[in-house]
Chains A and B, each alone.
Chain A
Amino acid sequence: SAVISQKPSRDICQRGTSLTIQCQVDSQVTMMFWYRQQPGQSLTLIATANQGSEATYESGFVIDKFPISRPNLTFSTLTVSNMSPEDSSIYLCSVSGNLNTGELFFGEGSRLTVL
């Protein structure tokens, strides 16, 4: 298993500002995933963060809005840029436990509220 720490756990932000969420894993992993869970909605994959290359974004998500860094095999950041109230969500970092099984381990999430 992997232990994933996310910071901040929650924050209240002003419209138009940007916030960076950090994700630290206790072991080296090839791929890290960033998910979003809007209020009352399911989890949606934003992007896959690969060390040493650009992140791969899912349909509906763009790098300008959600820039991602992956400087090493244990750390990643997701920035939510120019926030609006629609960005109020829980943002979750996850890593693959075993690519053969498809299992994911999740962080506790970062709950952002945009006023």
Chain B
Amino acid sequence: SQKIEQNSEALNIQEGKTATLTCNYTNYSPAYLQWYRQDPGRGPVFLLLIRENEKEKRKERLKVTFDTTLKQSLFHITASQPADSATYLCALFRYGNNRLAFGKGNQVVVIP
């Protein structure tokens, strides 16, 4: 069966350090992968997209990598700040399919 796995344990990290989250998938051949941020009581907000033929994407303090051989994406927040505390969701999209499949999300807590 198809699975998208994100760590269910919250990541507690000291302010200023780099937070790294993992998204693993099985039985998917995604055309691209998206990362979203979700704050308590709010809807998810799009952050970054990376295509199957891209290895790395950056946006300000965010970096995403995509390894289709390992079937894994890594999401990095460099120089983390307390305002980065949230839940981060990965989502996969396949061509011919008009939908995203979401992981369950991974919570990040940045400690001042």
Q: Do A and B come from one complex?
A: no
Interface residues of A (CB under 8 A from B): none
